[in-house]
Structure 1
Amino acid sequence: MQLSAYTKEFSKNLNIAYPVMLGQLGHVLVGLVDNLMIGRLGAAPLAAVSLGNSLVFIALSLGIGFSFAITPLIAEADGSGDLETGRSYFHHGIILCALNGIFLFLALLVAKPVLYYMDQPPEVVELAIPYLEIVAFSMIPLMIFQAFKQFADGLSQTRYAMYATILSNVVNVVFNYLLIYGIWIFPRLELQGAAIGTLISRFFMLWFVWEILRRKDKFAAYFVWSKKEHLNSGVFKRLLSLGFPTALQMLFEVAIFTATVFLAGTLGTNPQAANQIALNLASMTFMIAVGLGVTATIRVGNQKGLKHFKDLRRIAFSTFLLVFLIEAVFAVGFILLKDLLPGFYIDNTEVILLAAQLLIVAALFQLSDGLQVVILGALRGLQDVKIPTLICFIAYWIIGFPVSYFYGKADMLGSMGIWLGLLAGLTASALMLYLRFNYLSKKLVLNQENK
C-alpha cells in the first residue's frame, strides 16, 4: 500500500486528536503550574508535590482507565446507528465513574501512611500529606468529568472537553497564585493553596462540561432519562469488562513512573526534584500521543461498527505513523533544550544538571512511549483489552522495573539507571502491542474475505 494511503488520513486524525491533545495537556498543565509556582519555594516543597502526586497519579490511572471503556462502546454504537444502546452506556458510565471517584478519594486517604514507609526525606513527607488530603477530594468531580468527556469523545466531539479543561486551567492558575503566595485578601497557604486551586478548578471543569453538552442538539437525545429506564447489571458488566483491564494497563504504566519517584527519593531531595521536572516535561509530550490514542480508539471503533476491516487497518496504521513522526520532533527538542528547560522550574544548579541528564533518556523513549499508547488505543477500539493488559505487565514490571531498580542505586547509575529501565519497558511494550494489533486486524480481514 502506498504511503499516501496513510498520510491522507493525517488531517482527519489530527482534527479529532487536537482537542484531546489540548485537553490532556490541560491536565498536565495543572501539575506544571503547581510545579512552577511551588518550585520558587524550594526543592523540598517541589519534591513534596512530586511525592503526593505519585499516589494521586496511581488513583488517576485507575479512574481514567475505567472511564476509557465508555469511548469504544459509544463509538461502535454510533457507527452502527444505535442511539438507545449508546444512551444506556452513557448513563451507566456516569454512575460508574461517580462511584469510582468516591472510592478513589477514600482509598487515597487510607493510603496516606504509606508515604512514611517509602524511605523518603522526612521533611518532604510532612509537606506532602496535607497536599495529598485536599487533592484526593478532587478525584470525585474529576472522575464524573471523565464520564462526560469519554462519552463526547466516542461521538467524535472532542472539542468540548478541551474547552472545559483549558478554562479550568485559567481558574487553577488564578487560585494558585492567590493561595500559594497569599495575594490580596487570601492567606499564604503554599502547598495547601496549590491543592485548593486544583480542587476548585476540577469542580469548575465538571460544571462547565455538563452545562455545555446538555445544551447542544447533538447530545440532546442522550440526556433524556426515561422514567422506564432501569439500571442494567449487564451494561455495568460490559463497562467493567472493558474498563477494569484498561485501568490495569494504565496502572502498570503509571505505577512504574511512580516507582521512579520513590527510587529517586532514596537518592535524596535534589534527585527527586530533578526526577519530577523530567517527568513533568515528558508527560506533556506524552499527552500529544494520548490524543492520537483516543483518535485510534474512536476511528477503529467506528470501522468495527461498520465492519470495514481493511479501512480499519489502514486508518490505525496512519495513527501509528503520525505519532512516530510527532514524537521524533519532540525527541530532538528534548536533546537540544535539555540544559534550558529545567531552569524554568527551579534555580538550583545540581537539580538542573540532573534533570538535563534525564531529558536525554526521555528523548530516547519518546518514540516507543508514543507508539505504545496509540497502539493500545487501537486495540481498545477493537475491544481487545485482556491480552494487552498482560503485555503491559510483562513490559513494565518483568522487563522495565528490574532494570530501574538494579541500575538506579547510588553506587550504580543513579537517576540515569532509573530512567534506562523506563526506556526498556516502554520499548518492549510498543513492540509486543504492535504484534498483537497486527495479528488481530489481519485476522478480521481474512475472516471477512473467507465468508
Structure 2
Amino acid sequence: MKRACSLTEKTKQFLAIFSPIFVSQISLMATGFFDTVMSGQASHYDLAGVAIGANLWLPVYTGLGGILAGITPIVAQLNGASRKGDMAFLVVQGAYLALFLALVVIIGGWFLLTPILNIMQLEAAVHDIARGFLAALSIGVVPLFVSVVLRNFLDALGYTRITMLVTLCVLPVNIVLNYMLILGNLGCPRLGGVGAGYASAITYWCLAAVSLGVICFKEPFKSYHIFRKFFRVSLAAWRELLAVGLPIGLSIFCEVSIFGIVAMLMSEYGTATIAAHQAAINFAGLIYMVPLSIGMTLTIIIGFEVGAGRYDDARKYSYLGIGIAVAFAVGVTVGLLIFNNKIAGLYTGEPEVFEQIKSFLVYAIFFQFSDAIAAPVQGTLRGYKDVKVTFLMAIVSYWVIGMPTGYLLAKYTYLQPYGYWVGFIVGLAVGATALAVRLARLQQKYKM
C-alpha cells in the first residue's frame, strides 16, 4: 500500500483492496451456499439438518475467527509505521493462538453437541444429519483457524489479491466434493448433508496448505521469514492479540449467534419453515459480503493511515467506504424486489418452502441499509483499534433490543416466525446509529 492524496487515487486504492476481499469472501461464503443448495437437492431433511448444523457452527467460527482477526489492524499499523521486523513473531503467535482455539472447539464440541441438539427436540432425521455434518466438519477446524491467521497477515499488508487467488483455487475442490459426497456421484456414497461436512473439512485442509505455501515460498512474503525461526509461546503477545481481537470476536459472536438461536426457535414452526428461514438467511449472508468486505477494507487502509499518523486521510476513506455501501444497498433493494421468485427457486422446488422463502426475502431488504452503515463503521473503528464500544453495542442492539423484540412479536402477534426478522431489523438499526455516532466523536477527537 501507499499514500493516496486525491479522491480519485483513494478510490482506486480502495477498490484495488476491496475487490479481491469481496471475491474471497464470496468464495468462502460459497462453501456454505453450495452446502445449503446441494443439500436441499438431496431432501428437505438434509437442508434442515445442514441449516441447524451451520447455525450452531457459524457463531463459533465467526466469533473465534474474529478474535484471530485482531492481528489485522495490528499488522496494518506496523506496516504503516514501516516495522516489518516485528511481524514474524506476531504471526507465529497468532498461529499458536489459532491452534489453541481450535482444540478448545473440538473438545467442547465432543461434550456439548449431543446435549444441545437434544434440547432442540428435532425430528430424528434432522437431528442425525446435523450431528453428522458437524462431526465431519470438525476434521477441518485446525487448518481452518490457522488459515484465518495467514489470510489476515496477507490482507493486512494490502495483498488482498493473493488471498483471493488462494481462495479461488480451493473453491472448486469444495464444489466437486459436494457433488460427489452429498449426491453420491462419481462412485461415491450418497451421504446427504453429512457429506457437506466432509467436503468442507477437506477444503479447509487444502486452503491452509496453499496459504502456507504462498507465505513460505513466494516473494515478497518469503522475505518476512514468518516460519523460519522457532518462537516460544508468548503470553504477552497473546494478550496484545486478545486485547484487540477478543472484543472483535465477541461482537461478531453476539451478532451471529442471534441468528443461530432464532434458527433453533424456528423449530416450533416445522421443518419447512426451518428450511425456508435458512435459505433466506443464506442469501442475505451472500449479500452481506459487500458491506462486510468494505468494512474489512477500511480496517486495513485506516490501520495503515493511522499507523503513519495521517488521520485526515483515514477520515476521508471512512466516508468513501460508507458511501459505496449505501449505494450498493439501494441496488440490492431493487434487485430483491424484481427477482424474488427466481432467488427463492434456487433453493427448493417444494411449494410450501418456496412461498416462505419469498416472504423472508422481503424482510431481508430492510437489513441492507443498516448493514451499509454498521459494517463499514465497524471496520473503520477496528482500524483505529477502537473495538470495545463495538462489542458493547453488539450486546445492546442484538440481545437487549433485537432478540426480545423479535421474540415478543413472534409469540404474541400474527407475524409468528417473521417477528424474529423484524427483531433483527430493529437491532441492526439501533446498532448502526450508535456506531455512527461513536465514529463521528472519535474522528473529531483526532482532529484536535
TM-score (structure 1 length as normaliser): 0.94
Aligned residue among 304, 309, 312 for 2:311: 309
Asked if 1 retains the 8 angstrom alpha-carbon contact of 2:40 and 2:348, the reply is yes
**Residue 89 of structure 2 aligns to which amino acid in structure 1?**
S
Asked if 2 retains the 8 angstrom alpha-carbon contact of 1:44 and 1:124, the reply is yes
Report deviation, 1:224.
4.5
Asked if 2 retains the 8 angstrom alpha-carbon contact of 1:296 and 1:381, the reply is yes
SS at match of 1:138: helix
SS at match of 1:412: coil
CA change 1:162–1:111 in 2 (3 A) is farther
Aligned to 2:96: 95
SS at match of 2:349: coil
SS at match of 1:189: coil
CA distance in 1, matches of 2:323, 2:25: 21
CA distance in 1, matches of 2:159, 2:197: 30
Report deviation, 1:361.
1.0
Report deviation, 1:335.
1.8
CA distance in 2, matches of 1:266, 1:433: 34
Report deviation, 1:393.
0.6
CA distance in 1, matches of 2:102, 2:163: 18
Aligned to 1:422: 424
Aligned to 2:182: 180
CA change 1:260–1:181 in 2 (3 A) is same
Structure 1, 217-226 or 387-396: larger mean CA deviation? 217-226
SS at match of 1:339: helix
Aligned residue among 293, 296, 304 for 2:295: 293
Report deviation, 1:70.
0.7
**Residue 147 of structure 2 aligns to which amino acid in structure 1?**
F
Report deviation, 1:192.
1.9
Aligned to 2:73: 72
Q: How does 1:397-408 map to 2 (within 5 A)?
A: 397-408=399-410
Aligned to 1:318: 320
Q: How does 1:24-423 map to 2 (within 5 A)?
A: 24-112=25-113, 113-225=115-227, 229-409=231-411, 412-423=414-425
Aligned to 1:449: none
Once the two structures are superposed, what CA deviation does each residue of 1:343-386 show, in whole Å capped at 9, x if it has no partner?
11111111111111111111111111232121111111110111
Query: Which structure 1 segments of 5+ residues have no match?
Result: 447-451
Asked if 2 retains the 8 angstrom alpha-carbon contact of 1:21 and 1:289, the reply is no
**Residue 18 of structure 1 aligns to which amino acid in structure 2?**
S
CA distance in 1, matches of 2:414, 2:120: 20
Asked if 2 retains the 8 angstrom alpha-carbon contact of 1:73 and 1:86, the reply is no
**Residue 86 of structure 1 aligns to which amino acid in structure 2?**
M
CA distance in 2, matches of 1:222, 1:185: 45
CA distance in 2, matches of 1:5, 1:434: 24
CA change 1:391–1:6 in 2 (3 A) is farther
CA distance in 1, matches of 2:379, 2:389: 14
CA distance in 1, matches of 2:425, 2:281: 13
**Residue 72 of structure 2 aligns to which amino acid in structure 1?**
T
**Residue 100 of structure 1 aligns to which amino acid in structure 2?**
L
Query: Which structure 2 segments of 5+ residues have no match?
Result: none
1:440 equivalent in alignment to 2:442: yes
CA change 1:182–1:227 in 2 (3 A) is closer
Asked if 2 retains the 8 angstrom alpha-carbon contact of 1:369 and 1:426, the reply is yes
Report deviation, 1:246.
0.7
After the TM superposition, which parts of structure 1 deviate over 4 Å for at least 4 consecutive aligned residues?
4-8, 224-230
Once the two structures are superposed, what CA deviation does each residue of 1:287-332 show, in whole Å capped at 9, x if it has no partner?
1212111111011101111111111111111111111111221122
CA distance in 1, matches of 2:7, 2:366: 25
Asked if 1 retains the 8 angstrom alpha-carbon contact of 2:27 and 2:168, the reply is yes
Report deviation, 1:8.
5.9
CA distance in 1, matches of 2:422, 2:230: 56
Asked if 1 retains the 8 angstrom alpha-carbon contact of 2:295 and 2:376, the reply is yes
SS at match of 1:71: helix
Asked if 1 retains the 8 angstrom alpha-carbon contact of 2:336 and 2:365, the reply is yes
CA distance in 2, matches of 1:409, 1:262: 15
Asked if 1 retains the 8 angstrom alpha-carbon contact of 2:280 and 2:360, the reply is yes
Once the two structures are superposed, what CA deviation does each residue of 1:397-438 show, in whole Å capped at 9, x if it has no partner?
111101111112386312221111111111111111111111
**Residue 214 of structure 1 aligns to which amino acid in structure 2?**
C
**Residue 50 of structure 2 aligns to which amino acid in structure 1?**
V
CA distance in 2, matches of 1:116, 1:410: 26
Asked if 1 retains the 8 angstrom alpha-carbon contact of 2:130 and 2:194, the reply is no
CA distance in 1, matches of 2:422, 2:229: 56
**Residue 350 of structure 2 aligns to which amino acid in structure 1?**
N
CA distance in 2, matches of 1:225, 1:260: 42
Report deviation, 1:260.
2.2
SS at match of 2:340: coil
CA distance in 2, matches of 1:48, 1:229: 42
Identity over the aligned pairs, expressed in percent?
27
CA distance in 2, matches of 1:394, 1:56: 23
Aligned to 1:13: 14
CA distance in 2, matches of 1:153, 1:252: 25
SS at match of 2:182: helix
TM-score (structure 2 length as normaliser): 0.95
Report deviation, 1:177.
0.9
CA distance in 1, matches of 2:200, 2:133: 10
Report deviation, 1:62.
1.8
CA distance in 1, matches of 2:330, 2:12: 19
